[in-house]
Copies of this chain bind each other. A is one copy, B any other.
């Protein structure tokens, strides 16, 4: 006389991946899957540890580890004596995204295009090596792009890239996928750093952006990490009152 699983427990079992990863990791995956697919909603209660133990046939310490780690990541909320719940939607969840100019332009209902000015492999000079945490003379990728919004140039993007983390960088078609999007795909961002100032463009930059050298620009120098390694260092130059959004790079 087996008692039927609750729907919540059943959806947990359904989402269990069939890999050879450790049990606790598969349980974490299954929980994240249910939350990510909105099968489990914010504030919703999860099965208790003992229910999971019975349903999965594993020990409580294993279940406990999965739940504890997800709690530490802010995915779940646990209260002693009460239960485990999907964490409420964060007030700033929509701001977790990092600035992506293509998306931003699309959000405004405008058309985004890109012109690739330069895309090649070079040897790092001292400054470039410092920015990427490499040694002078090591091979790096270097690119220069101009982003257009409805035919108007709105951002100049100069970027250097770590070759080990993105070995196929120079073969990409950046008129289709922005460097940022590509890099975040091959080496997901875990941390970032921004340096922002208002600057005056030099003559070449002003020409590329089709503005005068008196027009103040917002300059962002951004470095992004994937784990402990620096993926890329970029300098973004945008004339006028362009709106910029920076987030903290958290879980997706």
Contacts and interface: CB of A to CB of B under 8 A. Distances in A.
Contact of A218 (B91, B198, B228, B246): B198
Interface in A49-94: 61, 69, 72, 74, 87, 90-92
A199 interface: yes
What class of interface size applies to chain A in its complex with B? 35 or more
A4 interface: no
Copies, count: 2
A196 interface: yes
Contact of A133 (B61, B72, B91, B133): B91
9 residue pairs, one from A and one from B, having the closest CB atoms: A91-B133, A194-B246, A196-B244, A191-B248, A95-B193, A216-B216, A197-B243, A198-B218, A198-B241
Interface of A: 61, 69, 72, 74, 87, 90-92, 95, 133, 191-199, 216, 218, 223, 225, 228, 230, 240-250
28 contacts: A69-B72, A91-B228, A92-B191, A92-B193, A92-B223, A92-B225, A92-B230, A95-B193, A192-B248, A193-B246, A193-B247, A194-B194, A195-B243, A195-B245, A195-B246, A196-B196, A196-B218, A196-B244, A197-B241, A197-B242, A197-B243, A198-B216, A198-B241, A198-B242, A199-B241, A216-B216, A246-B246, A248-B248
